[in-house]
Amino acid sequence: MNLDDLYRRVIMDHYKNPRNRGSFEDDALKIELNNPTCGDRITLQLKVEDGVVKDARYNGEGCSISMSSASMMTEAVKGKTVAVALDMADRFSGLMKGEPVEFEGYEDIEALSGVNKFPARIKCATLAWNALRKGIDEEEKH
């Protein structure tokens, strides 16, 4: 199996078996974003306490890339400080620009590296990460 096949399998696994899909019933921070270009939509919910992303969930509709990226992102940022989560979002942006980036401890994210060859799909992959940035920004304003 070559690397592209492995990456496709990882992406499809997150799409068919999403991690952290759902919503919180309480007053978690809620961010809604959409990609009008293709119709992808995400509602991200974050529980941030004492500068740490304690939990994250998402709901949405979209292509396998946007929904897999949301699954991967929520897995990766849970338990991380806000600063580390933002650093991960910055590194993900670099990955989408073709920069060599590693996500130690959460290599599934690297499966999305091939998306940078398809500029129209980059917005799909970055939707959840943009929601994360927006949510942390809103949290820090309160």
Instruction: Evaluate if pTM is beyond 0.75.
Output: yes
Q: Can you tell me the distance from the alpha carbon of 136 to that of 20, in angstroms, rounded to the nearest whole number?
A: 18
pLDDT at 1 over 80: no
Banded model confidence at residue 7, pLDDT cuts 50, 70, 90 = confident
Structure confidence at residue 117 (pLDDT): 92
Q: Can you tell me the distance from the alpha carbon of 59 to that of 42, in angstroms, rounded to the nearest whole number?
A: 6
Residue-wise pLDDT tens digits, 54-74: 999 999 999 999 999 999 999
CATH placement of domain 3-141: 3.90.1010.10
Q: Can you tell me the distance from the alpha carbon of 58 to that of 31, in angstroms, rounded to the nearest whole number?
A: 9
Nearest to 35 by CA among 4, 11, 69, 9: 69
pLDDT at 3 over 80: no
